[in-house]
């Protein structure tokens, strides 16, 4: 698969016109013969990309007082927990916030409130906050997310994830994509046999099909 993935990435980069922003490189899976109504069969993986994401990630945290101070030291964006309910009542503002950040963190006591008021916006996007226990440095958790790609199928047979950016070399992107491929197929009963199709693309470029080897 390594050669096929590498060739598809090369083609995707060549065929995508240059943009005025740094595009991500994405991998899209369509699986088959998997009962996704059963939550146990769904794909939900946090993959540490061996060559990183190729661009900075934006992380926000719902925190107050001491935790907020630690977060600011780590250059994280702090969201006042007192605004959670208001955000929940303004769907447009909540969606804008969800698009702005790659990951969210939260102090543990605010998780239930976030689920109640913002779960409908953050949940489907796979962006529900990761809880930060007391006495844990949020900067350490954020550092771990800097190279993380989230692969989440929910109940859909087609799902996608980021494997890097155009700032990276074909070799780096291929290494990242191969790691994602391995993690996804390892979760499937028949491995590659449960993959109906696989594509790679830049954010706004054409989709390039990867020939799947069984």
Report whether pLDDT(214) > 80: no
Q: What's the CATH code, domain 2-54+147-209? A: 3.30.190.20
CATH of domain 59-145: 3.40.50.790
CA distance 96 to 117: 15
Q: Decide: helix, strand or coil at residue 26.
A: strand
Domain ranges of the chain: 2-54+147-209, 59-145
Residue 196 has pLDDT above 90, yes or no: yes
Q: Could you check whether 2-54+147-209 and 59-145 share the same CATH topology?
A: no
With pLDDT > 70 as the criterion, what percentage of the chain qualifies?
100
**Adjacency order of strands within the sheet including 24-31:** 158-165, 24-31, 195-202, 208-209
Residue 187 has pLDDT above 90, yes or no: yes
**Residue 166 reports pLDDT greater than 80:** yes
What share of the chain has pLDDT > 90, as a percent? 93
**What's 83's DSSP letter?**
G
Distance CA 214, CA 193 (A): 6
Which has the closest alpha carbon to 191: 28, 29, 3, 46?
29
């Amino acid at each position: 698969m390594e050669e096929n993935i590498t060739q598809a990435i090369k083609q995707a980069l060549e065929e995508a016109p240059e943009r005025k922003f740094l595009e991500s490189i994405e991998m899209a899976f369509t699986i088959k013969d998997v009962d996704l109504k059963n939550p146990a069969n769904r794909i939900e993986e946090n993959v540490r990309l061996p060559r990183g994401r190729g661009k900075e990630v934006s992380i926000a945290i719902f925190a107050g007082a001491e935790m907020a101070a630690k977060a600011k030291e780590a250059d994280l964006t702090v969201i006042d927990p007192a605004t959670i309910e208001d955000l929940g009542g303004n769907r447009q503002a909540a969606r804008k916030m969800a698009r702005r950040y790659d990951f969210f963190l939260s102090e543990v006591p605010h998780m239930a409130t976030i689920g109640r008021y913002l779960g409908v916006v953050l949940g489907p996007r796979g962006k529900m906050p990761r809880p930060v226990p007391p006495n844990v440095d949020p900067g350490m958790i954020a550092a771990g997310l800097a190279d993380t790609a989230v692969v989440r199928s929910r109940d859909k047979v087609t799902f996608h994830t980021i494997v890097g950016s155009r700032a990276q070399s074909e070799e780096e992107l291929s290494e990242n994509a191969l790691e994602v491929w391995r993690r996804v197929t390892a979760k499937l009963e028949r491995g590659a046999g449960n993959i109906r199709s696989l594509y790679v693309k830049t954010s706004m470029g054409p989709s390039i099909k990867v020939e799947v080897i069984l």
